[in-house]
Amino acid sequence: MIEIPAWVDGTLMPVEKLAVHERGLRHMAISVFVMRGDDLLIQRRALSKYHTPGLWANTCCTHPNWGEPALHCAERRLDEELGIKGLTLIHRDRLEYRADVGSDLIEHEVVDLFLADAPETLTIEPNPEEVAETRWVALDALNDEVARSPEAFTPWLRIYLAEHSARIFGDRVYA
């Protein structure tokens, strides 16, 4: 059983991950955005994921384990999901959102956002239990794709792009 930090009656405490989503509890999360020049690495979630399977998301995202620092969690999940090690992660901001992710599950997250620049030689080794596929895409092209086919993308990626691009990408934001 994985326990993640969630607020229950105003107190941060460990709560089982699925219960957090079933109850729509406000909880801690991380999201990582790996850039290579103007291109963002995105992933399509594995079809076996219990929510939003097969949808495109940012480079990686998850919930820290109880007591785990956000930066450590971000580094750990980059490795576990994509086999990526050694990038310098820059904390960009913390934000909060709430989204229906289907199957009567709610993501109500307080998210630490991390940005990293990748070298051209970055090796990616996706874990098939987590990731169906990856690709690099320019931010402006990604925004166009999301506008044309929002159902192909996770709710949180749509929220990040529509409401928080400047907080995440800074001067890399394109209209």
pLDDT, one tens digit per residue, over 83-94 is 999 999 999 999
Confidence band, pLDDT 50/70/90 cuts, at residue 175? very low
Mean pLDDT calculated for residue range 100-129: 96
Report phi then psi at 114, rounded to 5.
-125, 140
Output the pLDDT for position 1: 74
CA distance 118 to 98: 30
The CA–CA distances, whole Å, from 98 to 67, 81, 84, 88, 108 equal 23, 24, 28, 28, 4
Residue from 55, 114, 46 nearest 84 by CA = 114
Report phi then psi at 105, rounded to 5.
-115, 145
Output the pLDDT for position 2: 85
Mean pLDDT calculated for residue range 155-163: 97
Catalytic amino acids? Answer: 61, 109
pLDDT, one tens digit per residue, over 1-46 is 789 999 999 999 999 999 999 999 999 999 999 999 999 999 999 9
> Which residues, including other chains, have CB under 8 Å from residue 107's CB and lie 6 or more apart?
21, 29, 97, 98, 99, 101, 155, 156
Output the pLDDT for position 70: 98
Strands 90-102 and 105-117 come out as antiparallel
pLDDT of residue 173 exceeding 90: no
Mean pLDDT calculated for residue range 89-105: 95
Domains and CATH numbers, the chain: 3-170 (3.90.79.10)
